């Protein structure tokens, strides 16, 4: 049970002053405290539950307080006392996820730009030779029509390359 929570902890859990006292710790940090006290002295990360039902990401460490005569006298019976230090890392985790997403998009943009440039080089050769062949004297109508189709397909492919390059620059 929570005996005392400072104002910072009350703010993290969206609790009114004194509102955390008497609550089971497992109701505030269910993943780690449901099975008992987590490993002492280590920093843990877990999902926390605010008093309004919202989720938060927490970093916390738990240590056992050494019993003193005053503490035992005040409680009337000897029992273990733990002190938890915690920090809300929800915003930090959110920013880390946004950064990872931005890095993925940047990598996709760089990859797509590289592929588009290589493909554009190949298209230039195809369109160049098709254009030269189309200008050859004595070309029959079917051959000219076939080369026109090659040129049209090449132009559509070049437009697609421009779109890919535009996407790569935005990323």
Confidence of residue 146 (pLDDT cuts 50, 70, 90): very high
d(CA 96, CA 57): 13
pLDDT tens-digit map of 97-111: 999 999 998 898 889
Work out the average pLDDT over 126-131: 93
pTM: 0.62
Q: Give me the chain's average pLDDT, please.
A: 88
């Amino acid at each position: 049970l929570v005996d005392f929570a400072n104002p910072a902890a009350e703010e993290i859990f969206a609790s009114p002053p004194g509102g955390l006292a008497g609550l089971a710790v497992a109701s505030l940090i269910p993943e780690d405290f449901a099975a008992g006290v987590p490993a002492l002295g280590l920093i843990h990360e877990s999902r926390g539950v605010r008093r309004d039902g919202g989720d938060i990401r927490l970093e916390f460490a738990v240590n056992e307080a050494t019993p003193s005569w005053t503490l035992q006298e005040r409680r009337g019976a000897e029992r273990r006392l733990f002190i938890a230090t915690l920090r809300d890392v929800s915003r930090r985790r959110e920013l880390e996820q946004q950064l990872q997403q931005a890095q993925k998009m940047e990598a996709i943009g760089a990859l797509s730009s590289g592929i588009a440039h290589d493909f554009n080089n190949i298209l230039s050769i195809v369109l160049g030779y098709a254009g030269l062949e189309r200008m050859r004297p004595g070309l029959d109508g079917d051959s000219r029509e076939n080369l026109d189709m090659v040129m049209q397909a090449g132009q559509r492919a070049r437009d697609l390359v421009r779109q890919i390059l535009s996407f790569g620059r935005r990323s």
